[in-house]
Each structure stands twice: as C-alpha cells, then as structure tokens.
Amino acid sequence: MIFDYTFFYIESNIICIIIFLMMVLKELSVAGRQAKQLVFLNICFSNIIYFLSDIGWVQVLNGLIPRTRLLVSVFNITNSVVLSLITGFWFIYVELSQGEKYITRTRQRIYILLPAMVSTVLNIVLFAFFPNAVMDAEYNIKGSYNIFFLSIPVMYIILSCVRTIIRAFRRENYAVRGQYLTCAVYPMIISLFGVIQTLWFKAPVFCFASTLMILYIYIVSLHDQVSIDDLTRLNNRNQLKKYVVSESGKAGGDKTERYVLMIDLNKFKEINDQYGHVEGDYALRRAADALRSACSSCDLKTFIARYGGDEFIIVTKTGDESKVKALCTGIKDEMIRLNMEAGAKYDLTASIGYSSYSGDIFAFQNALTKADEALYEEKKHRR
C-alpha cells in the first residue's frame, strides 16, 4: 500500500515536471526575452527543483531511502528555500505584469528576494547547528518547523494578493479587473493546498495545484501578447475591438450614453526627429501614465487603449457630458504635469476629440469618425 502511494506521488510529480519543461522549452525558443519572461522561467525552474526534491523526500518518509540526518536536512532545506523563491519570483512576476515601474530595476528585485535569502541561511544554520530544534531523535521533522517553513512563502503570497486587489479596484483598471483578481485568488488557492499537503500528507495536491496555476498564467500571458500594447502597457487595438463588441452585447435595454474620446499627441513627430525615437517612446509612456492618472481621479469608469502610433482612445459610459469635458481637461493637465516632473526638454500636449454613442457597435464606428473630426478641428484651432 505504501509502495503504491509512493509510486503515485512520484508519478504525479514527474508529470508536473514534464509540463513545466514543455513551458520552459517554449519560452527558451523565444528571442529577445523581457524581464517578465525571465522571471517566469525562474518560476518554472524553481518548481522543477521543488518537485524533484519532493520526490526524494516522499521516499525518505516512506522508508524507500534511509532516513539519515543528512538526507532529511538536504531535502527539507531544499524544499523550504525553493518554495520561498517560487513565491518571491511570483511576487516579482505579478508586479512586472501589472506595470509597476520600480520592479524593473534589478536592485529592487534583489531586495524583494532578501527574505528568501535570509530563509536559506536560517535553514542551513538550523539543520547544521541546531538540529534538535527542527528534528527529533529519529529524524522526524517537528510540527513547529512547519510554521517557519511556510512563513516566508505566505508573506510573499499575502503581499502579492493585497497589492493586486488594491490595483484591481482602481478605476482605470476596471476593464482588466477580472485578470487582476485571478492573480490574487490563485496564489491563495495554492497556499491552501500547500498547507493541506504539509499538515495532511496524503496526496500530491500541491504539485497539481501549482502546475495548473502556472499553466493558466502562461495561457494568460500568451493572451496578453495579443491584447496588451508592449510599450505603454495599455490595451491594444485588438482588445479595443473586443471590448466594444462586448459592451454592444451588454447594451440591450441600457439607455445610458457612452462616449468615445480620441487623443492625439501634438507635434510628436518633432519629438522623434529632434530627440530620437527612444525619447519618443518615453513620451508615449508618459502620455499613457497621464491617461491612467486622469482616469483614476475622475468619477467615470473608463477603458483606455493605444489605437496606434501616438493616438489613444478612451471609452466611457456616462450621460453627463460635463464629466467628459472635465476628463479631457484632466488628461491635458496631467500630461503637462508629468512631463514637467520628468524634466523633458520638449512640451508634451494632446488634442482631444469626443463623441457620444448608444452602445451599439455600428454607432461606435460613427462616433469614432466624429471624435476624429473633432480632434482635428482642435488641432487646426491650435495652429
């Protein structure tokens, strides 16, 4: 009976390892990997190491490998350290995915992994110099060690969940709120399964749950590649089309007016020509930040997308045109403010045109045309 269970446990971990290896091979075949993809690879490799260590540990527990102080120490140190790294890398991955700028710096990522590094040192010290604190005379792990074993991973999970939930309920993120909440809920589910497996070691639930979570995140990341603009981290044109179609289906008897705003940066070509395309990219990111900031501070639910080049589109649902006008003013003011804070040597301003529509997809096309005409009327007026 014990042999059958051990074989099932090992087989389950091997299947999960194969799934992770498939994702790793796919990611390694991609040229020009970004920081987020590299962190994802670290998560995959860490999971593989954890499952391999877990295979050894289950054999020790069931007597297929001699229970020695060295083996018990090695497998438990490995499991604890790697689990801390998995959750630490997960925290970094979520922060990068959700556009947090501070995490793009290598030094910041190292700081975030410091608790995992400290955990590594403490584990080695405990098992090497204070074995009685973690093991009994027969080399069974004491229950109190489980608190230490789970403390760092749980800390990373809680921080990640709290920060993600806060971001999910910002006004500018309401269109992707479901994705954000998924990122918050999934780690909590994994933590629950991890606790169950730690306290009730009867099935390899952690490896299945962890693999399914990462596989889901991997699928979502593939979706992001075709729906999120890589430069500004706003929705792209393809996602805008999906959103408009979705809203059209919801419209039904809803008589609330909707507005489409078209935003175009003024003299953007001159910024590229005079300061280079790299600076032009900075200007586009700054403009995207201004749109997010203005939308988050207004009393409207908004969907923001990069339409192409230096053009952006905002869709909002309101019957109050004065709020739309206030949003236009807020966008222009915020763009100037952020540009001044950045110390740019050029002006960053925008022209905005808007038009209302009923929510119908065909009405949206007409509204987009009218917003475009209003935009160029404003540009003509500026000249």
CATH number for the domain that contains residue 248: 3.30.70.270
- Residues 249 and 329 placed together within one structural domain of the fold: yes
277 three-state secondary structure: helix
Domain extent at residue 289 = 237-382
Within-domain flag for 274 = yes
φ, ψ of residue 263 in degrees (nearest 5): -115, 130
- Residues 22 and 94 placed together within one structural domain of the fold: yes
Confidence of residue 254 (pLDDT cuts 50, 70, 90): low
φ, ψ of residue 53 in degrees (nearest 5): -65, -40
Residue finishing a domain among 163, 193, 227: 227
Choose between 178 and 47: higher pLDDT. 47
Within-domain flag for 303 = yes
Point out which residues pair with 312 in neighbouring strands.
Answer: 263, 306
- Residues 271 and 364 placed together within one structural domain of the fold: yes
Residue finishing a domain among 202, 227, 252: 227
Residues 383, 366: Cα–Cα separation, whole Å: 26
Structural domains of the chain, count: 2
Q: How does pLDDT run across 2-28, given as a tens digit for each residue?
A: 567 788 888 999 999 999 999 999 888
φ, ψ of residue 304 in degrees (nearest 5): -110, 135
- Residues 215 and 88 placed together within one structural domain of the fold: yes
Within-domain flag for 216 = yes
Within-domain flag for 93 = yes
Within-domain flag for 232 = no
Q: Residue 313 belongs to what H/E stretch? A: strand 311-317
34 three-state secondary structure: coil
Report pLDDT for 372.
92
Q: How does pLDDT run across 66-119, given as a tens digit for each residue?
A: 899 999 999 999 999 998 999 999 999 888 877 787 888 888 999 999 999 999
- Residues 31 and 139 placed together within one structural domain of the fold: yes
The pTM (predicted TM-score) of the whole model is 0.72
Decide if pLDDT at 315 tops 70.
yes
- Residues 112 and 174 placed together within one structural domain of the fold: yes
Segment among 210-219, 313-322, 338-347 with least mean pLDDT: 210-219
- Residues 126 and 220 placed together within one structural domain of the fold: yes
Residues 2, 206: Cα–Cα separation, whole Å: 19
- Residues 223 and 292 placed together within one structural domain of the fold: no
- Residues 206 and 246 placed together within one structural domain of the fold: no
Report pLDDT for 42.
93
Instruction: Report the candidate in 64, 91, 67 with the shortest Cα–Cα distance to residue 158.
Output: 91
- Residues 189 and 247 placed together within one structural domain of the fold: no
Residue finishing a domain among 227, 261, 291: 227
- Residues 277 and 145 placed together within one structural domain of the fold: no
Choose between 324 and 98: higher pLDDT. 324
φ, ψ of residue 311 in degrees (nearest 5): -105, 135
CATH number for the domain that contains residue 92: 1.20.1070.10
Report pLDDT for 99.
74
φ, ψ of residue 317 in degrees (nearest 5): -110, 110
Decide if pLDDT at 212 tops 80.
yes
- Residues 258 and 324 placed together within one structural domain of the fold: yes
Please name the residues in contact with 132: beta carbons below 8 A apart, sequence gap of 6 or more: none
Question: Which letter, b or e, does each residue of 284-305 get, where b requires 16 or more Cβ atoms within 10 Å of its Cβ?
Answer: bbbbbbbbbbbbeebebebbbb
